[in-house]
Amino acid sequence: MSIFLTLVIVFLTLISFIGEWFSVDITAIAVMVLLMALGLVTPEEGISGFGNSATITVMAMFILSAGIARTGAIGVVNDLLLKWGGKHSTKQILAIGIITGPISALINNTAVVAVFLPVVEEWCQKQRISPSKLLMPLSFVTILGGMLTTIGTSTNVLASGLSEKLGYGTFSLFQFTELGLIVFTIGLAYLTFIAPRLLPNRKIKNNDTVAQDYDLKDYVSEIVVARSSNLVGQTLRQSKLQRKFDLDVLEIIRNDNHFPQPLADKLLQVGDILMVRGGKECLLKVKDEKGIEFLPHIQFYDKSWEQNLSSGEESIAEVLILSNSNLIGSTLKDIRFRQRYNATVLAIRRGEELVRDRLGKVNLRFGDVLLLQGPKESFLGLQTSRDLLFIGDRDLETLRRDKAGIAVAIGLGVVLVTAFGILPIVVSALIGVLLMVVTGCLKSGEVYQAVRWDIIFLLAGLIPLGIAMDKSGTTVWLAQNLVAIGGNLSGYWLLTLFYVVTIFITEVLSNNASVVLLLPVAVEVAKSLSFNPMAFILVVTFAASSSFMTPIGYQTNTMVYSPGGYKFVDFARVGAPLSLLMALIVPPLIIILYGL
């Protein structure tokens, strides 16, 4: 019965992840509670994930990565990227790989992409290159770079903790660096010489025609307050123009004077010209109820609107919703976005989809790109937001550059102390976190902001599932059935089977979930057939981080999805051959390097 209940929970977990009924962290916590309620784990075992060394280490690595990024330490390589990149796609991708790959081995790759995404975009604009040619390779090389060390990804840290629990010890810092270097080199060669032929060549973005890129021609209009309008003598707040209708007032023009945000308390007069964002149906409703008149259509394509903005106090910019953003799942109306950031959302880009109507009711997702209009000074605050990544000119950004050397020294110190076995990873990482705060590289409040709590709760919630699978005998039962099915397969083909299965589970679930579910099963299969368990541990660990075929399988893929203007199938076209290549080379390399 316990095996049956555990399998039912595993099945429901898979369905919830695939169907996206809830966010992955909420699903994981629900699993934890259900396991305790059914008695499959004790309360102590149920909450043990929060005190697990893997969970604490991952949390500490997020903070260390933020400290290094916040001081601008990895931003100093921007000049190298511009210097080495040139104008040819082969050289550009090679430069990105050589620079960002090794950094991803020591810093969380999500933080690396967050830093380099606007850098690569700016580079593309200067060189007249389509971002779609470079942003997917940026994501892929950081994924490959994360497999160079144990601390490169949260998956590696979790696999190390599971390995210890299963009796095979934690991974050393460079446990699989030799394998990682070979895989990284082969993967970078594929991205450099083959991927450019498969990558799409989307329209080159031009800062002077952002409105055209977002096709705002039918969504931004100028209306006039007529003499008979009931808006006369009211403020925007009193008129409820923005609250009642799906309409945003971007600017008020009165006798050639332009009034920017905030506008809520501005009294409206006869003849005022309002620049508004809203669909045609919405504008017709406003016309009938409020008594306004339409001006001839704004000529977006002569760039007049955006030139007027850039020459004044207002501007437009793009921001990306980050994976740990508090905005995810909320609507613009729920969070009072305009009041909170003093900027108005003109459109939302979601992968290949453009959302320009009923924006206030759209539930925001990780990876959404928001096109904003607002005072230029408001964008300074956006550049230091924990929820949004500012894409574009970052000259306004205030970084603690005087602390960059200290942050790098702390990061290297953590690596060296761990590498020489002086202290365990979890201890050295926590010391590094403390030093980041004491030295001023991070403020105390930024420590909590740096952590991806969704990943922490995902780990804490799934670790008890692994305990339940072990206690109930589910792991052994699954292994016995796999042995019965594949008992006649050679060690190479069994490794390949686990690699392929792990890849597909990673693409539809998450890399951490696939490790929790499959690593114990792989070890049991190896023990039953007298193979080297460490070989099976490594094959699952590597496969779990090899998410190249979808934009949702790995967080860095999601981050570049919208900014690159990609379609869902673009990832399959470029990533599937890379996944196949990895499936062909990783199992035999593991056999050669670690034995079977």
The pLDDT score that the predictor gives to residue 533 is: 93
CA distance 70 to 535: 38
For residue 395, how many C-alpha atoms fall within 13 Å in the half-sphere facing its CB?
Answer: 3
pLDDT digits (tens, 9 = 90+) for 498-525: 999 899 888 877 788 888 888 988 998 8
CA distance 254 to 275: 11
Closest Cα to residue 63, out of 315, 333, 407? Answer: 407
* Assessment of whether the complete model's pTM goes beyond 0.75: yes
The pLDDT score that the predictor gives to residue 306 is: 53
DSSP E strands: which ranges in 10-95? Answer: none
Which residue matches tokens 């080379």?
Answer: 585
Q: Average pLDDT of the chain?
A: 82
| Identity of the residue numbered 90 | T
Q: Is the pLDDT of residue 292 over 80?
A: no
Phi, psi of 21 (to 5 degrees): -60, -45
Closest Cα to residue 322, out of 157, 83, 562, 538? Answer: 562
Is the separation of the CB atoms in 137 and 93 below 8 Å? yes
Six token digits for residue 578: 């890379």
The secondary element (H helix, E strand) that includes residue 315 is strand 314-321
CA distance 22 to 6: 20
DSSP letter, residue 162 = H
Task: Return the higher-pLDDT residue of 586 and 361.
Answer: 586
CA distance 350 to 236: 30
Q: Measured in whole angstroms, how far is the alpha carbon of residue 193 from the centre of its chain?
A: 26
Angle formed at CA 404 by CA 369 and CA 421, multiple of 5 degrees: 105
Closest Cα to residue 137, out of 75, 179, 95? Answer: 95
Which residue matches tokens 């290094």?
Answer: 68
The pLDDT score that the predictor gives to residue 301 is: 40
Q: How far is CA 495 from CA 186, 232, 583, 596, in A?
A: 20, 74, 9, 10
Q: Is the pLDDT of residue 305 over 60?
A: no
- Tell me the mean pLDDT in the region 341-370: 81
DSSP letter, residue 268 = P
Phi, psi of 479 (to 5 degrees): -65, -40
| Omega prior to 464 cis, within 30 of 0 | no
| Identity of the residue numbered 590 | I
Give me the DSSP letters along 165-225: HTTS-PPPTTTTHHHHHHHHHHHHHHHHHTHHHHS--PPPP-GGGHHHHTT-TTTEEEEEE
pLDDT bracket for residue 65 (50, 70, 90): confident
Task: Return the higher-pLDDT residue of 265 and 396.
Answer: 265
Q: How far is CA 237 from CA 68, 119, 263, 268, 386, in A?
A: 43, 39, 8, 11, 29
* Count of CB atoms situated within 10 Å of the CB of 305: 21
pLDDT bracket for residue 136 (50, 70, 90): very high
Q: Is the pLDDT of residue 530 over 60?
A: yes
The pLDDT score that the predictor gives to residue 192 is: 93
Residue 104 burial (10 A CB sphere; 0-12, 13-18, 19+): buried
Closest Cα to residue 77, out of 43, 30, 32, 112? Answer: 112
Task: Return the higher-pLDDT residue of 160 and 90.
Answer: 160
Closest Cα to residue 140, out of 579, 580, 590? Answer: 579
CA distance 31 to 228: 61
pLDDT digits (tens, 9 = 90+) for 561-575: 888 888 888 999 999
Closest Cα to residue 542, out of 103, 173, 147? Answer: 147
Q: Are strands 292-294 and 314-321 parallel, antiparallel or unpaired?
A: unpaired
Six token digits for residue 244: 């009642």
CA distance 35 to 55: 19
The secondary element (H helix, E strand) that includes residue 97 is helix 89-106
| Identity of the residue numbered 296 | P
pLDDT digits (tens, 9 = 90+) for 381-427: 777 677 787 776 555 455 677 888 898 899 889 888 888 888 888 89
Lowest mean pLDDT, pick from 48-57, 532-541, 587-596: 48-57
DSSP letter, residue 266 = P
Q: Is the pLDDT of residue 299 over 70?
A: no
String of b and e for 176-194 (b: at least 16 CB within 10 Å)?
Answer: bbebbeebbebbbebbbee
Task: Return the higher-pLDDT residue of 430 and 325.
Answer: 430
pLDDT digits (tens, 9 = 90+) for 216-250: 666 677 778 877 777 778 887 777 776 666 677 77
Six token digits for residue 187: 């993967």
String of b and e for 500-523 (b: at least 16 CB within 10 Å)?
Answer: ebbbebbbebbbbbbbbbbbbbbb
pLDDT digits (tens, 9 = 90+) for 11-46: 888 788 777 677 778 888 999 999 999 998 899 988
Is the separation of the CB atoms in 526 and 591 below 8 Å? no
The pLDDT score that the predictor gives to residue 396 is: 44
User: SS3 helix, strand, coil % of the chain, rounded to 5?
Assistant: 60, 10, 30
Which residue matches tokens 């790098």?
Answer: 408
| Identity of the residue numbered 375 | P
The pLDDT score that the predictor gives to residue 302 is: 42
DSSP letter, residue 267 = B
Longest dimension (CA), the chain: 89
pLDDT over 70, % of the chain: 86
The pLDDT score that the predictor gives to residue 295 is: 64
CA distance 365 to 323: 9
